[in-house]
Chain A
Amino acid sequence: MAVVPGFVELPLFYEGFLNFLDRLLQPSTLVRIVVEGLGKAAIYFIIAVGLTLVFGLMGVLNFAHGAFAMIGAYLGGILMVVAISAGSGPIARIALFVAVAAVVMAAMTAFGALVETKLVRPIYDRTPMYQILLTFGIGLILEELARIVATFQGIQPEPTWSAAAGTIPGAFQNPIGIIQETLGVNVRAFYLFAAAGGVLVATAVWLFLTRTLYGLYIRAGSEDPEMVEALGVDVRRAFTVVFGLGTGLAALGGVFLMWDPTWGPSVLLNIDVLLYAFVVVVIGGLGSFKGTIVAALVVGLADSFTTWLFHTGIVTFPGLPEVTVFLLLVITLVVKPQGLYGVEEVGGH
């Protein structure tokens, strides 16, 4: 067989590939990728689900979503830092985290409702582009305000605010004991915690959509807003509730990001989170709840798999996870222009 210079010989490549498969299919590797992927997927889902609900009902692509998540991360951080004395045990910290998450979500839901009534409501009758522009402007303003407040308090706005990230219980930063003993892999316990949180949130949102009156309005409104209005439902109030809820969910995602080892509270979350949320929402199909869950799983697992590739030195390109995530978006749109579960002709011209 002629050897083409510059190319790996076929047998060599084949051997390398087998070697790679062998490493990938070790149970320890698989467990690591799956647990980490589930944790990441859960956080991506919590962030993206609000975006998809808002779009599904109102047709508004909310570009302030990332800023809401960033504010959630900062608020959660402030409350945690204030509430925790250094000696709190892990159980107390987790309990506090849940309480803080609830408080932040409630506060931001109210804030989101306020933004919707005062700013977004006047421009529903215009083309979708103006809603994109308006929410993007709101996001920029919030980012700068966060920067001012953080600088004023002597906190570095970039990279990350370590004090808030430091409120994580030690047990979460450590590898999961059982898995480490049996398989010898290091998976942070935080990812399991995040995955549990994601399942809870998904269940709660699903129950809200299917078992409550407002959930009914939202599902019906996504199908045919004019008809819902004709039947006497106050759609404007439904819009406010959904926008508020979306904001609250974004902030909740931000509170989870506060403990995430790769993110942490910083003003950079605004754009970074926004872009990731868009990837998840668009891959899943705009306005589709089921699609968002599937897309979050795809993106989360792809993220953890590429992270593993980079960490083990199989691929030496540091930007691999990000490139993969955005490539997934592009490929999905090329193959399925409406996303995985998207409705034909939603969000088009």
Chain B
Amino acid sequence: MAISPRVPRDLDRERGRPLRTDGGDSAVSEEPETDAPDGRETTTERAGDATSSSADGDHWLRQYARDHVAHGLVVAVFALYPFIYSSMAGLPRVDLMVATVDFGAFFDAFMPAMTFVIAMLFLGLFAMSFDFISGYTGYLSFGHAAFYGVGAYTIILIANGDVPVLPAETPFVVTMVLGGLLAFALALAIGLVSFRLTGVYFAMITLGVAQVIYELVRNWDYVAANPQEGPTHQGSTPEIGIPFVDSLSVSIGRLAGTEFENVLGLGIDLSATEVSYWAIGLIVLLCYFAMQRIIHSPFGRVMIAIRENEERARAIGYNVFWYKMVAFGFSGFFAGIAGALFAGFRGNASPDETFYFLHTADALIVTIVGGIGTLAGPLFGSVFFEWLEDILSSEQGGLAPFLRDLVGESIVINSVIDGRAPLYLGIVFVLFVLFVPNGLLGSVRDRIGGTVSKQLPSVLDRYRR
């Protein structure tokens, strides 16, 4: 079951070989998210780029900045979102001769609220780690939720003082990395028995191991008084930042997080949720760049070689077993980090939200919607996923309360809209599988003929003149 994330493309045919064979020399230059296995050098004219021919000192830096325009834009949108949301949702009712339109309520109904945006971050990181192994080596990891669960349970158990040797006051950042390392070790252990298999059998054995762990955790009274509900974080509030330096750390959590009032005298108040959002976002960003770095290293090129043609990679002389093992370990590590962030922010972790098969399925869905084998795609997929969740639930200003205000109570709203996100998500997912197999980001890349960050500068240049 060789999984190629994209339907065969004309690019490959035109090159005549699906693989770049320069052993990843180009990884020396900082090149943002290109995953195209053909690694085609872009041939776009760089008109208006005076520095490309001159060799002055800031040449590579400017090049670097140009290459990261797309990243910068995405990060900026994410960073500014809280302000956009609070200003849009705070708009007043407007009296338009004909009728009053309540813009604030409208935006509140249709824009994802902060808790959902934070959920985008951990789900996005989890899905990226899933894509890291499944999209780049072609091995479907159906037990990925186990790593997420290990990360989540590790930080809670340490914070509750249930782990010998480690004091309950261990900083969150340290326990988070520990959880990641435990997940790394678990991935190696699972990989040891699983990587003898391929295709469906690999998917099934990882699923089996994850379900065994799930059933054990769910019934083991060591982890919590009520293991079916999962443990609750009873220690001090988790802090993200430099350990032991209070001025460089912020607490995360909806209720107990750090709040800043009147920042820099600008009259802006930052709520605990918003501070947590930036802190978690920073970790997710670091993890994304780490994963991207691995993908673009020679190591990552070998992962792609395994996906495209494992026999050939072996014949060239790579020890594919160890490459797969280490890739699986990294993937587990980042999934563990995602789980730790989730548990740190939520303050509890139920086995059904961490270790269960359906949690892996969520990652799978957002990976497909975002584009498998694109690394950044799953993040956009999870934005879509959580957005839909937010609109269709009445937890924080969704569609249902909005419509109730508009047309009054009705059985249709209660049964077809309120809390029905999984139904529409399933429909969208099936449509994506049938008609957009490369996902959102994959389709965009196919359309513009390369990765977004490679193509964006020249597009921008065109508009600058």
Contact A133 B420 (CB under 8 A): no
> In the complex the two chains form, what is the Cα distance from A145 to B357 in whole Å?
20
The A interface, classified by DSSP as helix, strand, loop or mixed, is helix
Contact A349 B2 (CB under 8 A): yes
Given A136-B361, A349-B310, is A282 in contact with B433 using a C-beta cutoff of 8 Å? Answer: no
Cβ–Cβ < 8 Å partners of B458 in chain A: none
A-B contact count (CB 8 A): 127
Contact A61 B200 (CB under 8 A): yes
**One of B46-54, B172-180, B208-216, B244-252 contacting the partner:** B208-216
Q: Give the most central of A128, A133, A327: most B CB within 10 Å.
A: A133
Interface membership of chain A positions 297-319, coded 1 if the CB is closer than 8 angstroms to chain B and 0 otherwise: 00000000000000000000111
User: Nearest residue in A to B425 (C-beta to C-beta)?
Assistant: A140
Kindly state whether residue A137 has any CB partner on chain B within 8 Å. yes
Contact B415 A137 (CB under 8 A): no
B side interface size, CB within 8 A: 47
Kindly state whether residue A278 has any CB partner on chain B within 8 Å. yes
Cβ–Cβ < 8 Å partners of B357 in chain A: 271, 275
Contact A278 B204 (CB under 8 A): yes
Cβ–Cβ < 8 Å partners of B209 in chain A: 326, 330
CB distance from B228 to the nearest CB of A (A): 9
Kindly state whether residue A119 has any CB partner on chain B within 8 Å. yes
Task: Select which of A137, A144, A278, A322 is within 8 A of B420 by beta carbon.
Answer: A144
CB distance from B114 to the nearest CB of A (A): 26
Cβ–Cβ < 8 Å partners of B416 in chain A: 148
Q: In A122-149, which residues have CB < 8 Å from any B CB?
A: 122-123, 126-130, 132-134, 136-138, 140-141, 143-145, 148
Contact A337 B196 (CB under 8 A): yes
Kindly state whether residue A232 has any CB partner on chain B within 8 Å. no
Contact A347 B201 (CB under 8 A): yes
Cβ–Cβ < 8 Å partners of B215 in chain A: 319, 322-323, 326
CB distance from A147 to the nearest CB of B (A): 8
Given A129-B1, A148-B420, is A137 in contact with B429 using a C-beta cutoff of 8 Å? Answer: yes
Kindly state whether residue B284 has any CB partner on chain A within 8 Å. no
> In the complex the two chains form, what is the Cα distance from A148 to B198 in whole Å?
38
Kindly state whether residue B3 has any CB partner on chain A within 8 Å. yes
> In the complex the two chains form, what is the Cα distance from A338 to B212 in whole Å?
20
Kindly state whether residue A73 has any CB partner on chain B within 8 Å. no
Given A129-B3, A278-B207, A319-B216, is A141 in contact with B201 using a C-beta cutoff of 8 Å? Answer: no
Cβ–Cβ < 8 Å partners of A323 in chain B: 212, 215-216
Kindly state whether residue B199 has any CB partner on chain A within 8 Å. yes
Kindly state whether residue B140 has any CB partner on chain A within 8 Å. yes
Contact B4 A127 (CB under 8 A): yes
Kindly state whether residue B286 has any CB partner on chain A within 8 Å. no
Kindly state whether residue B430 has any CB partner on chain A within 8 Å. yes
Kindly state whether residue B368 has any CB partner on chain A within 8 Å. yes
Given A129-B3, A326-B215, A349-B199, is A140 in contact with B422 using a C-beta cutoff of 8 Å? Answer: yes
Kindly state whether residue A250 has any CB partner on chain B within 8 Å. no
> In the complex the two chains form, what is the Cα distance from A130 to B140 in whole Å?
12
User: Nearest residue in A to B219 (C-beta to C-beta)?
Assistant: A319
Task: Select which of A61, A137, A326 is within 8 A of B211 by beta carbon.
Answer: A326
Kindly state whether residue B437 has any CB partner on chain A within 8 Å. yes
Contact B212 A330 (CB under 8 A): yes
Cβ–Cβ < 8 Å partners of A347 in chain B: 1, 199-201
Q: In B189-239, which residues have CB < 8 Å from any A CB?
A: 193, 196-201, 203-205, 207-209, 211-212, 215-216, 218-219
Kindly state whether residue B167 has any CB partner on chain A within 8 Å. no
The B interface, classified by DSSP as helix, strand, loop or mixed, is helix
Q: In A261-301, which residues have CB < 8 Å from any B CB?
A: 271, 275, 278-279, 282, 286
User: Nearest residue in B to A322 (C-beta to C-beta)?
Assistant: B215
CB distance from A7 to the nearest CB of B (A): 20
Cβ–Cβ < 8 Å partners of A286 in chain B: 200
Q: Give the most central of A318, A322, A323, A333: most B CB within 10 Å.
A: A333
Cβ–Cβ < 8 Å partners of B430 in chain A: 119, 134, 137-138, 141
Cβ–Cβ < 8 Å partners of A319 in chain B: 215-216, 218-219
Task: Select which of B3, B219, B429, B434 is within 8 A of A127 by beta carbon.
Answer: B3
Task: Select which of B358, B361, B423, B437 is within 8 A of A144 by beta carbon.
Answer: B423
Contact B7 A126 (CB under 8 A): yes
Contact B211 A148 (CB under 8 A): no
Task: Select which of B208, B420, B433 is within 8 A of A279 by beta carbon.
Answer: B208
User: Nearest residue in A to B210 (C-beta to C-beta)?
Assistant: A326
> In the complex the two chains form, what is the Cα distance from A276 to B276 in whole Å?
40
Kindly state whether residue A151 has any CB partner on chain B within 8 Å. yes
Given A148-B416, A337-B196, is A348 in contact with B1 using a C-beta cutoff of 8 Å? Answer: yes
Given A140-B429, A141-B426, is A326 in contact with B201 using a C-beta cutoff of 8 Å? Answer: no
Cβ–Cβ < 8 Å partners of A213 in chain B: none
> In the complex the two chains form, what is the Cα distance from A323 to B211 in whole Å?
8
Contact B204 A329 (CB under 8 A): yes
Task: Select which of A129, A141, A317, A333 is within 8 A of B208 by beta carbon.
Answer: A333
> In the complex the two chains form, what is the Cα distance from A338 to B199 in whole Å?
11
- 9 further A-B contacts with Cβ under 8 Å, apart from A137-B426, A138-B426, A278-B204, are A123-B433, A127-B3, A128-B199, A130-B433, A140-B422, A151-B415, A323-B215, A348-B1, A349-B310
State the 8 A-B residue pairs at the shortest beta-carbon distance, nearest first. A144-B423, A319-B219, A140-B426, A347-B200, A137-B430, A141-B426, A329-B208, A319-B215
Which residues of chain B have a CB within 8 Å of any CB of chain A? 1-4, 7, 138, 140, 193, 196-201, 203-205, 207-209, 211-212, 215-216, 218-219, 310, 357-358, 361, 364-365, 368, 411, 415-416, 420, 422-423, 425-427, 429-430, 433-434, 437
Sampled A-B contacts (24; CB under 8 Å): A127-B4, A128-B199, A128-B200, A133-B364, A133-B368, A134-B434, A138-B430, A140-B422, A140-B423, A145-B423, A148-B420, A275-B211, A275-B357, A286-B200, A319-B215, A319-B216, A322-B211, A323-B216, A326-B215, A329-B205, A330-B208, A333-B208, A349-B2, A349-B199
